[in-house]
Amino acid sequence: MRRTLYLSAGFLSLGLGAVGIFLPLLPTVPFMILAAFCFARSSPALEARLLDHPHFGSHIRRWRNKGAISRRGKRAALAAFAFSALLALLLAPFPWFLMPLAAALIGGTWIWTRPEDDA
């Protein structure tokens, strides 16, 4: 039962990460990291596929080993947060634009304070 829950959560995270490629406020790499965590507890073969992925593998290993985010990843995440906040400011009425703005400020601050490792 537990294995099935982790496997389901892994696929859900993988799907949300794929959607995040197209939606600026939904991050991709954190969902891939979560998917790898879930697959490590349910399907080592799927975990290995994520770890060997040419784009996401290095981000997952960097996070697991050092809790670090690459400088390029930080810039991309902060740019996406800024774009989402600007879009909300322009298109959403008060007080609804405050929610994406708060998410951008909180999430952006947290990302900014993570260690960097570009190795």
Q: At what angle do helices 29-40 and 56-66 cross, to 10 degrees?
A: 70
Collapsed DSSP state (helix, strand, coil) of residue 21: coil
> What are phi and psi for residue 43, nearest 5 degrees?
-150, 90
What 8-state DSSP symbol labels residue 5? H
Domain definitions of the chain by residue range: 2-66, 71-112
Residue 54 structure tokens: 């040419």
84 band by pLDDT with thresholds 50, 70 and 90: confident
Rounded mean pLDDT of 34-59?
A: 95
What 8-state DSSP symbol labels residue 53? -
The residue assigned the tokens 């708060």 is 102
pTM to 2 decimal places? 0.77
90 band by pLDDT with thresholds 50, 70 and 90: very high
Lowest mean per-residue pLDDT among 13-17, 72-76, 112-116? 72-76
